[in-house]
Amino acid sequence: MEVEFMIRLDKFLSEMGVGTRQEVKQYIRKGKVEVDGEIAKRPELKVDETKANVTLDGERIGYASYVYYMLNKPSGVVSATEDKREKTVIDLINSIGEVTADSETVISSARSQYDALPDSTKANGTNYDVLVAAEASLAQIKAAGEQTGM
């Protein structure tokens, strides 16, 4: 017996960060959302979160019920949300988007971890564009460094 994972379309989209439930309902009413190739007409439409191909303006929206972050906490970083004297894990997480010449190890590690994921998991990923952008930024930084002899 196969278990089905059905969820309302508006909830599906809002949980994936597309917008609030009200904003998502507007997207659906305007015909911007498709489910399995057909324009969705009702926000209350039930979709199988594991199988449905949901798109917004042609961009696929994958469903992930949980998002996990892996962090290798260096020594000297406090496992707390805030600290007035020490750097915290939240500070590290908030700095992930900053690409510098020293980011190569982190970006390379992220690429290796992504490449090791099964295809079914990759299909649900929502931050692949961030990884690609970070790789491109790093390549630009390295190229600029080579031009200036650094």
Residue type, 38: E
Q: How far is CA 115 from CA 50, 83, 112, in A?
A: 21, 35, 5
Please say whether the beta carbons of 5 and 48 come within 8 A.
Answer: yes
> pLDDT, tens digit, for every residue of 27-55?
999 999 999 999 999 999 999 988 899 99
pTM equals 0.46
pLDDT of residue 96: 61
Enclosing H/E stretch for 60: strand 59-61
Tell the burial category of 124 from Cβ atoms under 10 Å away from its Cβ (0-12, 13-18, 19+): middle
